[in-house]
Amino acid sequence: MIKKIFLIIFFFISINSFVFADSNRCKEFTKFSVEYFKCKGNIVKDKTISTGQNIIKDTKDYQNNEWSKEKEKMNKVKEKIYKTKDKVLN
């Protein structure tokens, strides 16, 4: 039980240090300086862009996986239609 608690605490600390690693680079500026706000703004912009790109990538992958099954079904139906059309016309 104690090992599990230590493992959870260690996992939580490692995630927090990873998440806040980028935000520490703006500490060299004073709180209300122009450079500080530029630094913070760039961090927010970079995280927003990367998150947006991940969402777009995940959506495309999901759509490709889901639609590929339906495309296969449609292609099979088209083949059956073409075969019956050839039989009827010939």
pLDDT tens track for 21-72 = 555 678 888 888 898 899 989 999 999 999 989 999 999 998 888 888 888 8
Residue type, position 61, single letter? D
Domain contains 69: yes
Domain contains 52: yes
Domain that holds residue 80: 28-89
8-24: per-residue pLDDT in tens? 776 666 655 555 555 56
- Reported pTM: 0.46
CA distances from 54 to 48, 58, 59 (A): 10, 6, 8
Domain contains 23: no
The answer to whether the CB of 36 falls within 8 A of the CB of 30 is yes
Residue 36, burial from CB neighbour count under 10 angstroms (0-12, 13-18, 19+): middle
Residue type, position 40, single letter? K
Domain contains 2: no
Distance CA(58)–CA(62), nearest Å, equals 6
Domain count, the chain: 1
